[in-house]
Every structure is written in structure tokens, then in C-alpha cells.
Amino acid sequence: MERYAGWNSNKLPALAADLARLKLDVIVAETLAAARAIQHATRTIPIVFITGDPVASGLAQSLARPGGNLTGVANLSLELYPKRVEVLKAAVQDIAENFPNLRRLAMFFGPAVEPTP
């Protein structure tokens, strides 16, 4: 399942609220704008972000411990690729352990990223 705002970031809050109402097992937000919108829409559904610097943007408390219902991958620099893989593996393991019956996952795209088929 996916929601796509096209190039209109004004659509993000409504799309995020729609996803939150579906009571999904996890939501993946691929831009900072999408992550912020879904963060405001739910504090209970786990959110996996793929974004720039989540600490500098206020999305996460730290890279090691993002806090709340968020975790993810920060696209900061090439030097951080090993850490990204480690965080992604930990997130997948955490989801598998805490959500063994995961059947529904949403992808949430902001205006800067167009999904590929």
C-alpha cells in the first residue's frame, strides 16, 4: 500500500492521517516531509524513515536512539554506510521480533521522491 503526494507537500497531512487511520503495522517514510507528517499523525504506529539528518531536523533525538515510534536510515555521507546497514538490520530485526504477524506495511512518499513501479 502506498500514498503519494505528487509534488504537492500540502497533501501530506491528509495522506498521513489516512494511513494512521488504517492501523498499519509499520509505515516507511522516504522523505523528511513525509516523516514529519506521519510523525504528527501517529505516535503509536512504528515509523521507519529514510531521510537526511534526522537529528539536525528534529525528527530523532540521536542516531543511536531516535526515540518515540521512529527509527530509520539517515543519508548523511558515505562514511556512515556501515552504520546505516547496522541500523537497518536492527530495525528489521526489531520489527520481526515485535510484529511477527506483520502483513500490512505502507510506503509514504513526499513530494521530492516519485515511487518507481
Tell me what pLDDT residue 5 has: 81
Taking the domains of the chain in order of start, what are their residue ranges? Answer: 2-109
Q: Over range 56-60, report the average pLDDT.
A: 89
Question: DSSP label at 116?
Answer: P
Report the predicted TM-score, pTM, of the whole model to 2 decimal places. Answer: 0.65
CATH topology of domain 2-109: Rossmann fold (3.40.50)
